Amino acid sequence: MATLALSLAGQVVGGFVGGPIGATIGRALGALAGSSLDNALFGDKPQSAGSDVRLQGSREGAPIPRLYGWGRLSGNIIWATELEQLSSESSGAKGASQQSQPTIAANFAVAFCEGEVARLGRIWADGQLLETSGLTLRFYRGSETQEADSLIEAKQGADAPAYRGLCYIVFERLPLEPFGNRIPNISVELCRLVGALEPMIKSVTVIPGATEFGYDPTPRVRLVGSGVTEAENTHQSAKLSDWTLSIDELQALCPNLENVSLVVAWFGDDLRCGTCTITPKVEAASRTVKGTSWEVAGIARGAAGVVSTHNSGPAYGGTPSDNAVLAAIADLKARGIGVTLYPIILMDIPDGNPLGQPAYPWRGRIACMPASDGTATAATEVAAFTTQYRNFILHYAQLADDAGGVDAILLGSEMRGMTFSRGTANSFPFVDALATLADDVRAVVGPDTLITYGADWSEYSGYQPGGGEIFFHLDPLWASANIDAVGIDNYMPLADWRGSESADAVDWDGPYSLDYLEANTAGGEGFDWYYASDDDRAAGLRTPITDGAYGEPWVWRFKDVRNWWGNAHHDRPGGTRSGSATGWVPEGKPIWFTELGCGAVDNGANQPNVFTDPKSSESAKPYFSSGVPDTLAQRQVLRAALEFWGDGANNPSSAVYGTAMVGRISLWTWDARPFPAFPNDVDVWSDGANYATGHWLNGRAGGLAIDELAAAIASDFGVAQGAGDVAPPFVEGYVIDGPMSARDALTSRCC
């Protein structure tokens, strides 16, 4: 905790001195100073021989800490029994006299903090991570309704205290031999949720999508030699799978979670749709995993393609094994979480490929050949691609049925280049193919599974080739009887911040302001104005969005979701508005944001769709970003989006179907690889280096913006707290560890 506290202090001071870079340096220096205190507080304790019965921190009248967000706390023993001698055994050569070595165990309870805690993370005993599998312990979150522990009640009778409002752990018969036959010093990683963001989260995507057994709830090991194994999906606990640890944390930190979109990936190998193949792949051609085997769509490992290599290792993990996907779906259902099955394509095109194509590009760049666009040849090329794409999607439709059904399934996402590919007479053959595919998926999954497609935010509203033309090209899909929602992967820009010289700096406090970000959710770039060129963007030269004689400026506004949803759509071939509308029925179907996210990077709101991945040709920083990691920037974008669309004035109810326009928002993204094993173990997962500025919520959910922390402290002290400005730092966690006034807690300690 000292590392966290001094890191926070250093970040605040550094932020005053040097902005985001100064804050980063200050935080590092603060953490360095705090680490020496952590070693003293949480480090290894000297081993002592015999049956040393010293107790950690068993002090009567000790103050009870109050935790906000994450923290590592060392507790105070509040209850214990006499030590127990479990057994006495002799060892040695036959006939030799050996002194018995007693096995000593302890029953005790350790209290950590006041208030209800959402998540118990790792546990340390004498500074070493404690493997809890096989131990008997019970965790009490500190609720006001918790009952007395069964062991304490058995020892003390009906009047045993329940310690309501106190977070504590009971250890029952903990063997003490590993700790020198004494009760070890116990410290724990806890998260008390007090922020505004986490209760608003109802749906998330779960990745990585390319992981052979990472979605398997059963712990698996890989056989690498005679009697030698390596972890396959047990990188943080030897006894619990990565999936179990990660989804446990997801549920704990998102108490109102209703749905998970489970991402599963196959691989494309060419940006030319007519020659692209789409197949499941494996990470290695030969691999033995104990108790299971890899198989996808009837293809065994030996018959599957192998992903390309990058920096002497696999560029991706393999496609999730079908059995692992089925097990993950079953596990999510058992937890009471709805499941959306989300198939996507990853492009496995390595650097230096003989096609001369960009390395590891976005799937949205798959398209027909430029010379074919608008001709009958485009339809032929699209048809070749569609045959494989149908096999891919229909496989997961069948898997959904095999799983006993899922809540929803996507027909893929962000295939912008394909949906923009035109055939003759301004036709869009891939869109027609998607509509047919929706019908075929419905025949497999039945009437109870919802179906949609996740269109890119630059794709959902129409195709604008220039010259005043617009085609609502996806309307045949959106209007299809077997499409239940309009899916949008929403990465629309929410800011145009470039420091004090920004035009926005005249009216707004800064890039972390919720008012600023919410105003740009249906305003600003893509609504009120646009940049006509990169040069105009650099110069800040904004062009208003207008529509002349037709008076429908919303058709050019990709952010005007409400008017797009609530109006009839008229194509404009040749720039002339068609007299007849498309098949879209105004307010006909709900909007789903099948993805919504932002990188944890400086000025991330300027361009939420970009990410850093050195191997990919798509790797980029947001406009006017220094590239410095900035978790607060990510958090504020998510808060602003969920608050904006959670407001009924911004998200009206449909007169057609009666519920809200935006019916689901799935945040991108939560990783099935548990934090901190991911991103720290870069020898196992090469993309761990991308985490610092990436879209991940792992390791960030449960933290706080300063205004959230101030509000939580004020609430606990029963004092009024007005709205305040939001500025760095992002607060991972904060502890009030002794008596003080609300003023001291709010001013001298945190704000």
pLDDT at 300: 98
- Measure Cα distances from 661 to 39, 658, 701 in Å: 53, 9, 27
Closest CA to 470 of 553, 571, 560, 565: 571
Contact status, residue 487 vs residue 413, Cβ threshold 8 Å: yes
Residue 544: the pLDDT is 98
pLDDT, residue 742, reads 82
Cα 522 → chain centroid: 24
Backbone angles phi and psi of 444, in degrees to 5: -90, -50
Please report where in the chains the tokens 């899909």 appear, as a residue: 477
**pLDDT at position 35:** 36
Q: Where are the alpha helices (DSSP H) in 126-255?
A: 150-156, 242-253
In the predicted structure, residue 49 carries a pLDDT above the cut 60: no
Q: Which helix (H) or strand (E) holds 300?
A: strand 299-300
42/664: higher pLDDT: 664
Average pLDDT value for residue range 120-144: 95
Beta strands in 127-240 (DSSP E): 128-129, 136-140, 166-175, 186-192, 203-207, 221-225, 228-231
> Around 559, how many Cα atoms within 13 Å sit in the side-chain half-sphere?
22
Rounded to whole angstroms, the Cα distance separating 83 from 543 reads 77
Q: What contacts 278, CB < 8 A, 6 or more positions away? A: 266, 267, 268, 345, 385, 388, 389, 391, 392
Residue 746 has what DSSP assignment? I
Residue with tokens 């006939």: 95
What is the predicted pLDDT for the residue at 500?
83
Rounded CA-CA distance 267/529 in Å is 38
- Using CA atoms, how far apart are residues 542 and 223, in angstroms rounded to an integer? 60
Written as six digits, the tokens of 721 are 């707290």
Q: Is the pLDDT of residue 6 over 70?
A: no
pLDDT of residue 100: 57
- Would the pLDDT of 54 be above 50? no
Rounded to whole angstroms, the Cα distance separating 610 from 694 reads: 9
Report domain 203-693's class: alpha beta
Assess contact for 222 and 289: CB atoms under 8 A: yes
pLDDT at 101: 65
Average pLDDT over the chain, rounded to whole?
A: 90
Q: How confident is the model at residue 61 (pLDDT cuts 50, 70, 90)?
A: low
| 663 against 38, higher pLDDT | 663
More confident site: 172 or 54: 172
The pLDDT assigned to 7 comes to 38
How far from chain centre, in Å, is Cα 51?
46
Domains of the chain, by residue range, sit at 72-193, 203-693, 706-748
Is 326 strand, coil or helix? helix
- Name the helix (H) or strand (E) containing 646: helix 631-646
In order, the DSSP letters of 53-76 are -PPSS--TTPPPPEEEEEEEEE-E
Beta strand 662-671 with 591-596: parallel, antiparallel or unpaired? parallel
Token pair in block for residue 135: 């131990």
Task: Tell me the H-state helices in 668-718.
Answer: 677-680, 706-717
H/E stretch holding 386: helix 376-402
Q: For residue 88, what pLDDT is reported?
A: 56
DSSP β-bridge partners for residue 138: 170
* Banded pLDDT at 59 (limits 50, 70, 90): low
User: Hey, how many other C-beta atoms are within 10 angstroms of the C-beta on 647?
Assistant: 11
pTM: 0.90
Q: Is the pLDDT of residue 33 over 70?
A: no
Interval 265-320: pLDDT, tens? 999 999 999 999 999 999 999 999 999 999 999 999 999 999 999 999 999 999 99
Q: pLDDT per residue over 711-751, tens digit each?
A: 999 999 998 777 778 999 999 999 998 888 888 887 754 44
Find the range with the poorest average confidence among 72-81, 396-405, 739-748.
Answer: 739-748
Q: Which amino acid is at 559?
A: K
The rounded distance, in Å, linking the Cα atoms of 474 and 469 is: 15
Assess contact for 543 and 580: CB atoms under 8 A: no
